């Protein structure tokens, strides 16, 4: 009968200890999220209703619903995605498939990394100067969305580039040997196999743009509006700014109202991310490698 050596026993014990350690670290990361969600549900769940989601604020925003802020958040996120995703993917394609490894490319990569580290308040001031004043968009959904698009471009570029580079080079060589051009190879082979990874950048962008306050406060979000925006050149309310306002600026707000707004904001992010993740998993399941 085979007998386990002392070395194997020690290795198994060590492996078990590290497994427990990593599990505890994972639980440590998840616990704050669960506590936050539990607190929001406990303190704000009672206010959530159809009326709360689909009516306007009343009584100086101490009562009523959050529909204008919810509607405006969808506007801002959608326009930001439309502006940033095509540009970010195009930049990633150039850096991954066309750009030579020279000083200019290295400067571009350094600029992308530095752009990702710029504080959001700096992006807000840039948005005011560039989109509100220089391009004369005024304080509007378009100015706010373009500011957020600039802020989240590095996330889209990096995620898309890494996804493109993960496609095996043999796929490209096989296409080139069949006479396909570089662009035909990218469009028919590389992009379809990289789209699931590109969606990772989109998911991260949705999460960040939905929760940002400073950039939209300066460029397009309003304290209160009694009407819904009709175009991208109108101002709008937004959930993140509305949460800040009812939490700090409006007296006499019921305790459950800010928690309810925060709960809706997080639920909105989770819903958008869940849809994107489900679509990404579907695309990954169709991969042949």
**145 domain residue, yes or no:** yes
- pLDDT confidence of residue 1: 47
**24 domain residue, yes or no:** no
**31 domain residue, yes or no:** no
- pLDDT confidence of residue 3: 58
**28 domain residue, yes or no:** no
- pLDDT confidence of residue 289: 60
Low-confidence residues of the chain, pLDDT below 70? 1-4, 286-289
The reported pTM is 0.88
Distance separating alpha carbons of residues 78 and 72, to the nearest angstrom: 10
**154 domain residue, yes or no:** yes
Residue numbers of the domain that contains 96: 53-283
How many domains does the chain divide into? 1
Smallest CA-to-CA distance from 70 within 266, 218, 250, 214 is with 266
**32 domain residue, yes or no:** no
Distance separating alpha carbons of residues 289 and 279, to the nearest angstrom: 18
- pLDDT confidence of residue 6: 77
Instruction: List the CATH number of the domain containing 212.
Output: 1.10.3720.10
Distance separating alpha carbons of residues 223 and 242, to the nearest angstrom: 7
pLDDT in tens, 151-196: 999 999 999 999 999 888 888 888 888 888 889 999 988 998 888 8
**200 domain residue, yes or no:** yes
**27 domain residue, yes or no:** no
- pLDDT confidence of residue 4: 64
Residues with Cβ within 8 Å of residue 213, at least 6 apart in sequence? 240, 241, 244
- pLDDT confidence of residue 288: 61
């Amino acid at each position: 009968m085979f007998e386990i050596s002392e070395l194997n026993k020690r290795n198994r014990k060590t492996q078990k200890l590290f497994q427990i350690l990593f599990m505890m670290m994972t639980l440590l990361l998840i616990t704050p999220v669960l506590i936050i969600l539990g607190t929001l549900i406990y303190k704000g769940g009672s206010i959530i209703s159809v009326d709360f989601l689909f009516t306007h604020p009343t009584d100086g925003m101490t009562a009523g619903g959050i529909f204008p802020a919810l509607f405006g958040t969808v506007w801002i996120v959608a326009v930001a995605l439309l502006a940033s995703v095509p540009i970010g993917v195009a930049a990633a394609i150039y850096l991954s498939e066309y750009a030579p490894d020279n000083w200019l490319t290295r400067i571009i990569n350094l600029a992308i990394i530095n752009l990702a580290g710029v504080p959001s308040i700096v992006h807000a001031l840039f948005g005011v100067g560039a989109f509100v004043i220089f391009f004369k968009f005024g304080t509007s959904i378009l100015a706010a969305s373009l500011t957020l698009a600039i802020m989240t471009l590095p996330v889209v570029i990096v995620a898309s580039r890494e996804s493109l580079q993960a496609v095996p080079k043999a796929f490209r060589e096989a296409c080139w040997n069949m006479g396909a051009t570089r662009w035909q190879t990218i469009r028919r082979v590389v992009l379809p196999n990289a789209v699931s990874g590109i969606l990772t950048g989109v998911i991260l962008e949705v999460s960040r743009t939905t929760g940002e306050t400073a950039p939209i406060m300066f460029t397009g979000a309003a304290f209160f509006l009694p009407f819904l925006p009709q175009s991208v050149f109108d101002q709008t309310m937004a959930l993140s700014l509305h949460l800040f306002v009812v939490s700090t600026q409006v007296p006499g707000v019921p305790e459950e109202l800010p928690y309810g707004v925060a709960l809706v904001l997080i639920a909105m992010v989770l819903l958008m991310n869940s849809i994107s993740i489900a679509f990404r998993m579907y695309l990954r399941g169709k991969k042949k490698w």
